[in-house]
Amino acid sequence: MYKYELKNINLSQMKQLATNLAKIFVAGDVVALNGDLGAGKSTIARFIIQSFLGDETNVPSPTFTLVQTYEAKKFDIWHMDLYRLEEPTQIIELGVEEAFSNSLCLIEWAEKGQGFLPREIMNINIENGDCLNSRNIVFLGDKFKQKKLDKLINGDEKK
């Protein structure tokens, strides 16, 4: 299990982080975006999607539709918000199984789909930072993508 924490990230640093993350994502990656209402889950998802498709891409919050899909060059991106899911089995009806293997999945309120998510998942937890508009970002995962994430966060320095 790994844990990396970035403290007091402002909105433009969030965008930069999303751009860097977009470079390590491939088809079949599943990312849970965790945090309270207004934490910034949709915001980071929007920045990630725009890194693939351009800043002008409209990325609405999928709160009501549960899922919005995008076609990036190499794979589709599924942006999901499971807040309104009534029961976890409902995500199977959305067709997630195929998306979990072929698409990049960015999932808000992933805990609502518990039991139906793949085993290998990257958790990005967003919490309030020390000042207004700053956020602490915690990456948690079980080896999945650790090497790439380590390089992204710590650079190439030998520790």
Ligand X SMILES: Nc1ncnc2c1ncn2[C@@H]1O[C@H](COP(=O)(O)OP(=O)(O)OP(=O)(O)O)[C@@H](O)[C@H]1O
- DSSP-assigned letter for residue 23: H
Q: Looking only at residues 20 through 59 of this chain, which bind Mg ion when binding is defined by CB under 5 A?
A: 41-42
Secondary structure (3-state) at 79: strand
Based on the shown chain and the rule CB under 6 A, indicate whether residue 51 belongs to the binding site for ligand X.
Answer: no
Instruction: Note the helical H segments in the chain.
Output: 11-24, 41-53, 90-93, 96-102, 146-154
Site string for ligand X, 94-133 (x = CB under 6 A): --------------x------------------------x
149: alpha, beta or left? (left if phi > 0; alpha if psi -120 to 50) = alpha
Q: Looking only at residues 116 through 155 of this chain, which bind Mg ion when binding is defined by CB under 5 A?
A: none
| The only residue of 1, 37, 64, 157 in contact with ligand X, by rule CB under 6 A | 37
| Binding positions for ligand X, rule: CB under 6 A | 9-11, 14, 35, 37-43, 61, 81, 108, 133-135
